[in-house]
């Protein structure tokens, strides 16, 4: 596996994860033959590493590992207290609700996305066996979605998950009628390649994390957002 290191200090390493690669071993580790970034990176570095956050198997982009327990503890606190902001780029189809079954409750509100407008999407999300859904028993979720414009027949978005719920961005775009290209689990009818969807984590902002500088981190780490 090619491991692309984007930034490294004494305490952290940030990797550009490929789509179709696990961030950390699955709970079926012994039977799961999929490539795992965390396992490969740990073997390459020949030391214990600690995942700070994760990306879905089908998602590409920046993922962060701590190189010691104290850095792991501190960075977990940054994420829990919303002091670190991640930004994702997504490619979707134009608004269409045909992928949502008739028996599923959805307001199906049609609207024309406007450039430079940031939408605030709130939900109560609960994770099922395979996918996330909305439920009164779910956890509060907030997503900031900025429409960037169109490219060919698709729409470009920048997304910031204020909360970090499983499949949060994938669910929100789907429920608003904009399934991510390639994301068949959430209704996409357009292929994007094997084991990949058009969602990429391309920026992590540490500027509000008070001790990030002391750990040798820059104000932000950013990579190309193109798929």
The DSSP symbol for 213 reads G
For residues 87-96, average pLDDT: 98
What is the pLDDT, as a whole number, of residue 217? Answer: 97
Dist CA 75 CA 111 (whole Å): 38
- Please tell me the pTM assigned to this model: 0.96
pLDDT, greater one: 31 or 3 = 3
Q: Is the pLDDT of residue 139 over 90?
A: yes
Angle at 132 between CA 15 and CA 185, to 5 degrees: 75
Query: pLDDT exceeding 90 applies to what percent of the chain?
Result: 92
Instruction: Assess contact for 197 and 19: CB atoms under 8 A.
Output: yes
Q: Is the pLDDT of residue 29 over 80?
A: no
Dist CA 51 CA 56 (whole Å): 13
Over the stretch 147-194, which tens digit does the pLDDT of each residue have? 999 998 999 999 999 999 999 999 999 999 999 999 999 999 999 999
Residue 50 pLDDT level (bands cut at 50, 70, 90): very high
Residue 30 pLDDT level (bands cut at 50, 70, 90): confident
Over the stretch 64-89, which tens digit does the pLDDT of each residue have? 999 999 999 999 999 999 999 999 99
What is the pLDDT, as a whole number, of residue 197? Answer: 98
The DSSP symbol for 179 reads P
Q: How far, in whole angstroms, is CA 45 from its chain's centroid?
A: 25
Residue 45 pLDDT level (bands cut at 50, 70, 90): very high
What is the pLDDT, as a whole number, of residue 28? Answer: 75
Domains (ranges, CATH) in the chain?
4-84 (3.30.70.580), 87-200 (3.30.2350.10)
Dist CA 195 CA 185 (whole Å): 11
Q: Is the pLDDT of residue 97 over 80?
A: yes
What is the pLDDT, as a whole number, of residue 10? Answer: 97
């Amino acid at each position: 596996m090619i491991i692309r290191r984007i930034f490294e200090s004494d305490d952290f390493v940030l990797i550009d994860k490929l789509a179709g690669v696990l961030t950390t071993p699955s709970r079926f580790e012994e039977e799961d033959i999929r490539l795992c970034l965390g396992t490969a990176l740990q073997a390459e570095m020949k030391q214990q590493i600690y995942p700070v956050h994760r990306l879905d198997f089908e998602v590409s982009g920046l993922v962060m590992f701590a190189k010691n327990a104290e850095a792991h503890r501190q960075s977990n606190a940054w994420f829990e207290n919303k002091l670190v902001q991640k930004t994702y780029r997504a490619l979707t189809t134009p608004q269409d609700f045909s992928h949502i079954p008739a028996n599923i409750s959805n307001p199906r509100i049609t609207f024309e996305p406007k450039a430079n407008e940031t939408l605030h999407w709130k939900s109560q999300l609960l994770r099922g066996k395979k996918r996330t859904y909305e439920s009164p028993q779910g956890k509060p979720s907030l997503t900031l979605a900025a429409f960037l414009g169109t490219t060919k027949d698709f729409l470009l978005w920048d997304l910031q998950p204020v909360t970090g719920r499983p499949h949060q961005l994938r669910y929100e775009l789907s429920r608003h009628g904009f399934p991510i290209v390639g994301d068949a689990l959430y209704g996409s009818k357009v292929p994007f390649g094997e084991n990949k969807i058009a969602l990429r984590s391309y920026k992590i902002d540490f500027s509000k994390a008070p001790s990030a500088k002391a750990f040798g981190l820059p104000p932000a780490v950013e990579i190309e957002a193109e798929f």
